[in-house]
């Protein structure tokens, strides 16, 4: 797909997300703000990250991953994997803030999946990196504990797909932090295997 066509298609998806009311969370006004947040990044990126859903900072700034977890992603994960600033794309499994910032329901994940599926198809990355349980459920249709899924390569359609714990989990306890770095170390070794990675 040509760059201009990719941008047009992503713009259409973005506009549809902004007015989506498939779920009740799409009609809510948390903190008096619109609950929808779309995606950002280089549309020709080789690395596509998928998170949970937007939090307060995200709906306030209208950007994905701008809170503490976003800082961890941008400042730690990308540096650790040596992924360049212009070589990643970020989106979420669910595009709306959830009440009390709870984990999205299966219903909400399934309702948003058509957007995510199309985004992946348009960006067409080299690999997909799933950040935690919600994107694992959305993309891989798995409900396993994250500890069972890290350090493995999965396939979503023809895309190499990897799982790492959500950045927020790193701060919960020492076990989570060790698991987080173990997953990153494995992913780092996999990233090196991409022939055209610079």
161 lies in a domain? yes
pLDDT tens for residues 147-180?
999 999 999 999 999 999 988 776 666 768 888 8
198 lies in a domain? no
Would you list the DSSP string of the chain?
--HHHHHHHHHHHHHHHHT--SSGGGT--GGGS--B---EE-TT-SEEEEES---HHHHHHTSSS-SHHHHHIIIIIHHHHT--TTSEEEEESS-B--GGGPPPPHHHHHHHHHHHHHHHHHH--SEEEEESHHHIIIII-----GGGTTT--EEETTEEEEEE--GGGGGT-HHHHHHHHHHHHHHHHHHTT-TT--
pLDDT value for 198: 47
Contacts of 41 (CB under 8 A, 6+ apart): 48, 88, 89, 90
34 lies in a domain? no
pLDDT value for 171: 65
Q: How many domains does the chain have?
A: 1
21 lies in a domain? yes
Q: What is the pTM of this model?
A: 0.94
- Give me the domain span that covers residue 63: 3-28+39-191
Query: Which residues of the chain are under the pLDDT cut of 70?
Result: 170-173, 175, 194-198
pLDDT value for 197: 45
90 lies in a domain? yes
33 lies in a domain? no
196 lies in a domain? no
137 lies in a domain? yes
Q: What CATH number is attached to the domain comprising 179?
A: 3.40.470.10
pLDDT tens for residues 52-74?
999 999 999 999 999 888 888 88
pLDDT value for 71: 84
């Amino acid at each position: 797909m040509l760059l201009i066509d990719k941008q047009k298609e992503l713009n259409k998806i973005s506009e549809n997300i902004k007015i989506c009311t498939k779920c009740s969370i799409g009609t809510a006004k948390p903190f008096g703000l619109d609950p929808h947040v779309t995606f950002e990044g280089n549309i020709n990126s080789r690395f596509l990250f998928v998170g949970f859903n937007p939090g307060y900072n995200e709906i306030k700034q209208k950007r994905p991953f701008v809170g503490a977890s976003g800082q961890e992603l941008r400042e730690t994960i990308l540096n650790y994997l040596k992924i360049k600033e212009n070589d990643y794309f970020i989106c979420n499994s669910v595009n709306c803030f959830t009440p009390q910032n709870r984990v999205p329901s299966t219903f909400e994940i399934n309702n948003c999946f058509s957007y995510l599926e199309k985004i992946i198809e348009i960006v067409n990355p080299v690999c997909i990196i799933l950040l935690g349980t919600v994107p694992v459920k959305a993309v891989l249709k798995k409900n396993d504990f994250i500890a069972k899924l890290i350090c493995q390569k999965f396939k979503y359609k023809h895309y190499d797909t990897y799982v790492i714990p959500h950045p927020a989990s790193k701060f919960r306890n020492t076990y989570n932090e060790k698991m987080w770095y173990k997953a990153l170390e494995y992913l780092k070794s996999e990233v090196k295997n991409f022939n055209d990675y610079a």
